[in-house]
Structure 1
Amino acid sequence: MSLSTTLLVLLLAYSTNASHFYGTVMTYHPKQSSAKGSTITVVLRYKLGFRSCSDSDTWGCFSGNCGNERSLVVKTISEKKGEWCHSEGIMTRLVPSNGLFQLRIQGRNWLENQNGVTAWRAVTLVELRNRSDTNHANRSPQTTILPALRVPSNCLRNIQLLAFDPDGDEVKCRYGESRFSECRSCNKPSVLSLSSSCRLQFNPTDASGVAFAVQLVMEDFPRQTINLTETNGKLVTKTPKDALSKIPIQFALKVDPKVTSCIEGIYLPLFVHPTPTNGALLKVFVNHTLTIIIHAVAISSRINNQLLLSSPSNVIQNSTVEGQFVLSWMPNDDQGEETHAICFVVHASSSDNSRNYYSDLRCVAVNVEKGE
């Protein structure tokens, strides 16, 4: 091999191994069974965050009978230049039975972080067995996340993740564990405390200009003892202590320099009316338009008419006056009879653009119904 060829190979290896992964989240929804109930169609929706829009990856079967991937649509839905690119993937699989299966995605290069996470892995456990309480297949919790959230180093901040379950189950969060192969380096961020109710608390630190890799698992638990029926008629009992499905929530937490005041509405944008409350459940019909108005204020920083958004890719974002945004969404037939998550953060900056200030994470769940 010539010297020039060797240098080219090394350069390609370096660029491939550059720190670039910004996390992922996946949810699923069973759509229909065949006439004899022997095959099931399940739609899996996921987000992937990378440093560049040229980066991508795919989910593969990890365990169980994952069936056949019938279609996959990937769309870039938001990009913040120089930081990250966010994409939505919609995967449709036809599985031969309602037995458990797991999907996995993995790679080598988390973004550079303080908790020593290098290689990355995420796992989704799909539970499709028929529930005795709903007489339908189990559905996963619904949530989403931005590739990166930012907090000032000197402020106590709470991050309440959206944790909505369409079956009415109790939803809990925990850190990923190596023994379940849910991550490859399952090191917890030292600056975060996690409650089972999916609330993260950032504790002030002397460090700034650094990032942490956050690798969580969200699970649904029945509120009463139920039976799950397999395609072959076998019954399995689940109690409120037994998790049904699990989905990954992985993202980067970036720590910014100290802010003069931690009170929201001064430097950090504060959400005001008519912004929906965090965790609100909204409703819309297929082919009808849902409008969400978001308003944020900050008296000592400038809101840049930039709303960072994680949502279905056909949500349209517009900015009216400073600090006010309008989201418009007309769900299509493929999005009907599902619950979809929309999360957003408002970005503000100092007058000279040298400092960035981010609002809290705010999320809503939208139930899309067919026909009116």
Structure 2
Amino acid sequence: MYLSLLLLQVCSSQASHFFGTMMTFNPKNITADGAVTVVLRYKLSFRSCTDADTWDCVSGDCGTESLALDTVDKESSGEWCQVEGVMIRQVSTNAPFQLRLDGGDWIGNIQNGVSNWRALTLVDLRIRSDTDRANRSPQTTILPALRVPSNCQRDFNLLAFDPDGDTVKCRYGNTAEDECSPCTPPSVLSISQPCTLSFHTTSSSNEGPYAVQLVLEDFPNQAISLTQTNGLETRRTTDDALSKLPVQFVVKVDPAVTSCTEGHYLPKFLPPTPADRAHLYAPVNESLEITINAEATNSQVSEILYSAPQNTVSQPGSVAGQFILSWTPSEEEEGEDHPICFVVQAVNDPNKYHSELRCVIVSVISQSTTTALPSTFPPITTADITTRANTTQVDVNIAEVNNTKGLDESRGPDGKNSNVGKIVGIVFAIGIAIALVVGGVLAARNHARTQSAVQQARQELQRLRA
């Protein structure tokens, strides 16, 4: 009781301090009697790291809860702090349940008339007929505040990744469905699918902070059945949302800037910064490092701001404008997908400027892959190339290139072996080998380890010619 009163005092001691929230969930163990362990990860953003609030069960069997809360990141001037809660719930059944966050107030001077905060999460853990597994939520995260000058057009591409392969869509919250209080959309933003917010230039009279209150939903790509612990089946079509997740944050419309060109006042990303929506792989108990470079000629790049899993650490790189994000996943996180979003902030006192928003997905795997080449910028997106940390995993099957036996055995009219097939086979193999050389150079440009990839391809070329 004392702790609850203390939290209430902390929350009420600073009026106008909320910067938003979000939540995702991931089912873990399912026992023989149908009980489920589900891990829910949520972000809470306030002015201070000491502020807090709790999620309440509003419908269904929400089970028992254990909670670990830790700081993710805070803006250097004290503008905001984001914490992550890892909530483990033991529920007796996989039937849907809802959690709600209620309180007040958002930060002051919100332009779209939002005062109290409210967020609603629908958790559905029923077994899907298309995967034979419990339903998983989309994965996303968001920074507490994103900045844009009033005279600069910008798209905020929010992360909307679903591990079940569902179609993910964003919409503004609905006041009638108790998803926010109220759910007034920002007049300066428009939304398009899957989850992009577009800001167009506006007058100085519209400058200031706006509360963005979105709901993220996943829709099956075909009609499926959801099976409950008691055997009850429910049909879901492509028009039926499976999960409901809040994504709430602040967009600050700042005074106009002299130039909207990236790299002048607004920071511009440089290689080897991963491209937006890059898919990274992190082995358990191994440190994942993401190198981020940015520059701005008319302002000073000051810090990286990010939203990531607990225990993510940032440190300056070896050159100006470089930052390194590091995270080490635990064994309990194997098989999970974790989003990381970031911007680089620059300052030209008293103004602050943000780069574009970038997000990546990190899949936690059991062990390292064996072949690694440096990442490209932007990364190659073919199906055979994925990205782990700052490296690109390239799996090349040389045996397929060397499979020219059928051509070598072609025969002429006299029944003797014809060299035509052999020549064609060699030419074909040489062409493929040359493509490997070029592809290797492109995939690993500006990096010393490129030479080893080129040398391997040249050796294969010589072998094929022989």
What is the CA RMSD across the aligned residues, in angstroms?
Answer: 1.5
Write out aligned runs for 1:107-256 (5 A): 107-112=103-108, 113-207=110-204, 210-256=208-254
Alignment partner of 1:66 is 2:76: no
Write out aligned runs for 1:81-96 (5 A): 81-96=77-92
Equivalents in 2 of 1:23, 1:42: separation in Å? 23
Superposition deviation, residue 286 in structure 1: 0.8
Alignment partner of 1:292 is 2:290: yes
Superposition deviation, residue 184 in structure 1: 1.0
Q: Residue 29 of structure 1 is aligned with which of 19, 26, 42?
A: 26
Write out aligned runs for 1:341-356 (5 A): 341-350=339-348, 353-356=349-352
SS in 1 for 2:164: coil
What is the aligned partner in structure 2 of residue 8 from structure 1?
Answer: none
TM-score by length of 1: 0.93
Higher relative contact order (CA 8 A, sep 6+): 1
Q: Higher mean Cα deviation, 272-281 or 206-215? A: 206-215
Q: Which runs of 4+ in 1 moved over 4 A?
A: 12-15
Q: Residue 279 of structure 1 is aligned with which of 256, 269, 277?
A: 277
Equivalents in 2 of 1:29, 1:333: separation in Å? 15
TM-score by length of 2: 0.74
Equivalent position amino acid for 1:244 in 2: L
Equivalents in 2 of 1:356, 1:262: separation in Å? 13
Conservation of the 8 A alpha-carbon contact between 2:170 and 2:195: yes
Alpha-carbon distance change, 337 to 235 in structure 1, aligned in 2, over 3 angstroms:
same
Alpha-carbon distance change, 128 to 52 in structure 1, aligned in 2, over 3 angstroms:
same
Conservation of the 8 A alpha-carbon contact between 1:17 and 1:108: no
Superposition deviation, residue 354 in structure 1: 1.9
Equivalents in 2 of 1:141, 1:180: separation in Å? 20
Equivalents in 1 of 2:336, 2:33: separation in Å? 20
Amino-acid identity (%): 55
What is the aligned partner in structure 2 of residue 5 from structure 1?
Answer: none
Equivalent position amino acid for 2:141 in 1: T
Equivalents in 2 of 1:270, 1:189: separation in Å? 26
Superposition deviation, residue 196 in structure 1: 2.7
More helix by share: 2
Q: Higher mean Cα deviation, 362-371 or 241-250? A: 362-371
Conservation of the 8 A alpha-carbon contact between 2:168 and 2:194: yes
Number of aligned positions between the proteins: 356
Equivalent position amino acid for 1:101 in 2: F
Equivalents in 2 of 1:317, 1:295: separation in Å? 13
What is the aligned partner in structure 2 of residue 101 from structure 1?
Answer: 97
Q: Higher mean Cα deviation, 208-217 or 135-144? A: 208-217
What is the aligned partner in structure 1 of residue 43 from structure 2?
Answer: 47
Unaligned stretches of 5+ residues in structure 1 = 1-11
Superposition deviation, residue 343 in structure 1: 0.5
Unaligned stretches of 5+ residues in structure 2 = 1-8, 369-466
Instruction: Provide, for residues 116-174 of structure 1, a one-character-per-residue CA deviation record: whole Å limited to 9, x for no partner.
Output: 00011001100100011111101100010011111101111100001110111110000
